[in-house]
Amino acid sequence: MSRRRIPHVTLAAACCGLAACAGDAPALHCTPPPSPTPPSAVAGPLTAAADHGLLAPGTMLKVSVDASGPLTYQAPCSSPLTLLVVDSADIHVDSVAPVAPKGTPCGAVSLTAGQTAHYEVLWTADPTLPTGRYRVVATLGDQAPIALAFQLGLASLTCG
In a domain, 69, yes or no: yes
Residue 15 lies in a domain: no
83: how many CB neighbours lie within 10 A of its CB? Answer: 23
Cis peptide bond prior to 34, omega within 30° of 0? no
The model's confidence at residue 151, banded by pLDDT at 50, 70 and 90, is: very high
Q: Give the pLDDT confidence of 27-74 residue by residue, as tens digits.
A: 666 666 666 789 999 999 999 999 999 999 999 999 999 999 999 999
102 belongs to a structural domain: yes
Q: Would 11 be classed as within a structural domain?
A: no
Question: What's the pLDDT score for residue 84?
Answer: 97
Q: Residue 145: inside a domain, yes or no?
A: yes
Q: Which residues contact 76 (CB under 8 A, 6 or more apart)?
A: 106, 107, 141
Q: What is the CA radius of gyration of the chain?
A: 21
pLDDT of residue 20: 47
> Is 134 inside a domain boundary?
yes
Question: Who contacts 125 (Cβ-Cβ below 8 Å, separation ≥6)?
Answer: 55, 56, 57, 58, 59, 60, 61, 152
Range of the domain at 61: 36-153
Residue 104 lies in a domain: yes
Span 106-142, pLDDT tens digits: 999 999 999 999 999 999 999 999 999 999 999 999 9
pLDDT surpassing 60 at residue 17: no
Domain count, the chain: 1
CATH code of the domain containing 139: 2.60.40.1930
Residue 3 maps to a domain: no
